Amino acid sequence: MNCNRLKWVGLFTLVAGILFGCGGGSFKQEDKPENLKSFFELIHETIHVKKDPKQAAALFQSMVPDPARLKKALKDDVPPATTQQISDLHKSFTITEDGVRKLARADQKEVQVHGSKTEDILKYQPGSVAYKEFPGGAKRVAELALRPGTTFYEVEYLEPGKDAGMKYHLIYWDGKQWTMLGPVWRAFKQ
């Protein structure tokens, strides 16, 4: 029995290493918008070409922040209760192997990445990237909690030739990897 447990631990370690940068041929995350685009393309390919929902779910789930990663996106003076509300929301981000197929349809092969600094999201000027690509709730979160000087991204899966698709919100570089706040405006009491 212990031998079987060790085999499973070893297998899990190997798979985690391959997925998250410790194994050969793995995806190397870098603080560049084109790298974020490639990461989302990899997720799409893993779902619809490789047909590996378990790996796709693990890739997507890797963006959900723990408290240390969450703090990289938030102002230093964010109240602990607010941080807890956001953390509670993130607990609902668990994605199953069945649910991973809903991240993007097979025909939504095009990935677009739209970046804006916190200050631009705060201004939310008509015609700006923040105004055109970020939901209005992102402006409210910027006012209440987003760290100044941080670039946040909206990532969108689109059918070729279309201008609207499946969007993922407030993705940022946490110093080591891509992390997603998601629709955290839902965590704030109105």
The mean pLDDT of the chain is 84
With a CB cutoff of 8 Å and minimum separation 6, the contacts of 151 are: 115, 116, 117, 172, 173
Residue 178 belongs to domain spanning: 31-187
**9 part of a folded domain:** no
pTM of the model: 0.82
pLDDT digits (tens, 9 = 90+) for 119-177: 999 999 999 999 999 999 999 999 999 999 999 999 999 999 898 889 999 999 999 99
**82 part of a folded domain:** yes
**153 part of a folded domain:** yes
pLDDT digits (tens, 9 = 90+) for 63-95: 999 888 999 999 999 988 888 888 888 887 778
pLDDT digits (tens, 9 = 90+) for 94-123: 788 888 888 898 999 999 999 999 999 999
**16 part of a folded domain:** no
Closest CA to 26 of 51, 8, 10, 46: 46
Question: Rounded to whole angstroms, what are the CA distances from 45 to 12, 23, 64, 83, 155?
Answer: 22, 19, 20, 33, 16
- The total of structural domains in the chain comes to 1
Range list of β-strands (E), 33-159: 110-117, 151-158
Checking if the pLDDT of 10 tops 70, the result is: no
**44 part of a folded domain:** yes
**111 part of a folded domain:** yes
**78 part of a folded domain:** yes
**105 part of a folded domain:** yes
